[in-house]
Amino acid sequence: MRSQNRAEEAIKSGFFEREIEPVTLPDGTTVSVDDGPGRAPPTKR
């Protein structure tokens, strides 16, 4: 969970902006933001 929170904060602060290359889809849409880490429900161990 800690790494999940740290990843989200890094994305919000723009830490990865220089690492993500915009991609233009065949329909002309440009994607320049990653989906980011997903929020999975906690699992029992």
Pairwise CA distance, residues 22 & 17, whole Å: 10
Answer whether residue 45 is part of any domain: no
pLDDT of residue 20: 85
pLDDT of residue 13: 93
Coil/strand/helix, residue 23: strand
Answer whether residue 42 is part of any domain: no
Answer whether residue 8 is part of any domain: yes
Q: Within 10 Å of residue 31's Cβ, how many Cβ atoms? A: 12
pLDDT of residue 26: 97
pLDDT of residue 29: 95
Residues 2-45: pLDDT tens digits?
888 898 898 889 898 888 899 999 999 999 887 766 666 666 55
Containing structural domain, residue 26: 2-31
Answer whether residue 38 is part of any domain: no
Our count of domains for the chain comes to 1
pLDDT of residue 43: 63
For residues 35 and 7, the answer to whether their CB atoms sit within 8 Å is no
Answer whether residue 44 is part of any domain: no
Pairwise CA distance, residues 25 & 28, whole Å: 5
pLDDT of residue 38: 63
User: Which two tokens mark 3?
Assistant: 């790494």
